[in-house]
Structure 1
């Protein structure tokens, strides 16, 4: 098959969960003999044409200086560029990621009579903190774009599927759930020879809905009883300067470390060295870092939002906390920091759960079946 994947950005230049999902799927599709083109935005300093593990990557449209920040003009130019690309090339299937790529991909696919899949990773729970930028426009687009008559919608959890059906009136027969995965072989190959003490890891975009500020408040409180506590924050985003300011305001300069631009093995090293991963996010279609942390045999603590509840079994491979309940968030983190045996058991449970349900080989088999059916 000749497959076109349309995304805002792509790895290694942007490390969002959706971008990593497409990368892991695409490279395995190539290994199975399929041709995969990835269409995404230009990034300053990056060649317009790249090839990564056999994936043909085409950077088109306006040049973005600081992903993911884009102007309205950037969005419009990218949409037009994608539409032109699709109508001038031939594909067996087009798979477009929510949300901006859905518009030109859908229109171009219908004009070319090419099967079109809309991949929707998550939906918002309302409120301005659910979006990185252009919150009002994004909220309107979210209400419209899932309703377009794609041949199939792929989403990453039953929770998101339920939201699409109940709140966006999507026909449930058009929605397929294909979880995110992890590369167990790669993760197992990364060796660490030391373990941090009393260390919490956060990894992800520093966006409002991730609520890393909640973790800072928790660390500030826990520092009284656990002076050696440490929080490692891995990622970049619009909230970074605010989080740095809060770190200084709370007197946590010795407890908090900011890291960015880590390659994937470096991220896995930080996970394996840490004692637990925390994800106090109010918007998660799946929560890929949760599965990655479990694959590293460390437990997780997360807000019970979206697809997170399908990755984390409360008390088995981590703890679930109601969104915004900082007291319970602190309590669950304290339990894991103060009980090494419980940490170890939950980490082992997490590894078993990931191996059974969340590997990329399982995911790619499901994706190919959907593509072939269309």
Structure 2
């Protein structure tokens, strides 16, 4: 069948939600379906192109300034400006269903198009679109946004949460009348050229933690930096990503006298990201809250043990002592202690590394896509 996907983000634009939707789209394509994907345009990108079998349609919005972070004007304008493109596609093609990503800002677009053309709409909620404790503008804190989210949720044909935590937050903060299904995010192992540490400027004798994400408050990189300050000098941290908190984080590293041990790598290509992951020793997720944690799947692919905060979707698949450890956000002693544990215990590292490589297979796109399709039967 032909599938219409709506998401204001598509890689390299945005963060994990765009990556997750792309993986899902790739899974549908591999199962033999055709996918049209309407998303935000950005300078230098084509209005229409085919990427990995996905038909990408980009719509210009107001005020999108960079790849990593969406502005409020860009998010408000996307559903309004993408409506004409989505309607044009619906008149041109017959869709078996729609898959809308994020209750806001994309949710209203999916609701309008689904209602107009009577196409089943599967709404995927990602966590931060309904609940972000680090933001004053989080939808659950604002009445007008809360009512918008409730309307989008209840007007959807099906609601899919990526984790039990996302479902719990949806039920806690919104008056949801529909059943919320839990389907984890898909992960297609990324193929990349393996390299040695020296080609990345890394030293063999050092122990490297690695973290990937936008440099925003919710990601808790300040917590990571403070914890690194409590570890031995041979422990360094690699941070991949860009964002508005970069200057504050660099300043914090200088204040704690660990600026030489915190490596801000900025935005890197997908291949370079996996090369850094492959050469690191431990993945640290330091977020205040995480809807799911795509980066943990990527860490599992290369066999990295995981230390993660314990609030969010990651608790569904990070099992204590089996494939990693969970710690409370802000507990510097716990995070620094787990980092030291892996730096000193090679036997434990080897055991968890092997487990993560094996368990990564449970997120294959084809397997996840079939769970979506089963709801329509």
TM-score, normalised with respect to structure 2:
0.88
Q: Deviations over 1:2-50 (max 9, x none)?
A: 2111111211344x21111111121232233322111111212222222
1:208-256 per-residue CA deviation (whole Å, 9 max, x = no partner) reads 111101111111121xxx2222100001122112112222222222211
Match 1:274 to one of 242, 257, 280 = 280
The equivalent residue for 2:349 is: 343
Q: Is the 8 A contact 2:38 2:86 kept in 1?
A: no
1:67 aligned residue: 67
Q: Shift in Å at residue 196 of structure 1?
A: 6.6
Residue 242 of structure 2: SS of its match in structure 1? coil
Structure 1: how far apart are the matches of 2:194 and 2:72? 44
2:340 equivalent in structure 1: 334
Structure 2 residue ranges without an equivalent (≥5): 198-203
TM-score normalized by structure 1?
0.89
Matched, 1:20 2:29: no
The residue correspondences of 1:4-83 to structure 2 (distance < 5 A) are 4-14=4-14, 16-62=15-61, 64-83=64-83
C-alpha separation in 2, matches of 1:142 and 1:67: 27
Post-superposition Cα deviations, 1:312-356, rounded to whole Å, max 9, x if no partner, equal 10111111002221221111111111212211111112222222x
Q: Is the 8 A contact 2:318 2:325 kept in 1?
A: yes
Instruction: Give distance in 1, aligned partners of 2:205 and 2:295.
Output: 19
Q: Contact 1:202/1:234 (CA < 8 Å) preserved in 2?
A: yes
Please, which of 190, 206, 209 is the counterpart of residue 197 of structure 1?
Answer: 206
Q: CA RMSD in A?
A: 2.3
Equivalent of residue 176 in structure 1, options 172, 175, 181: 181
What's the offset of the Cα at 1:68?
A: 4.7
Count matched residues.
Answer: 361
- My pick for the range that moved more, 198-207 or 64-73, is 64-73
Query: What does residue range 181-260 of structure 1 map to in structure 2 within 5 Å?
Result: 181-184=186-189, 186-187=190-191, 190-194=193-197, 197-222=206-231, 226-260=232-266
Structure 1 alignment gaps of length 5 or more: none
- Alpha carbons 1:8, 1:40 under 8 Å: kept: yes
1:368 aligns with: 373
Higher mean displacement: 193-202 or 294-303: 193-202
Q: 1:138 to 1:23 in 2, by over 3 A?
A: farther
CA shift digits 1:261-316 (9 cap, x unpaired):
32222211111111100001122121111122122111011110111111210111
User: Secondary structure of 2:229's match?
Assistant: helix
2:154 and 2:371 mapped to 1: Cα distance? 23
* Native 8 Å contact 2:26 2:365 kept in 1: no
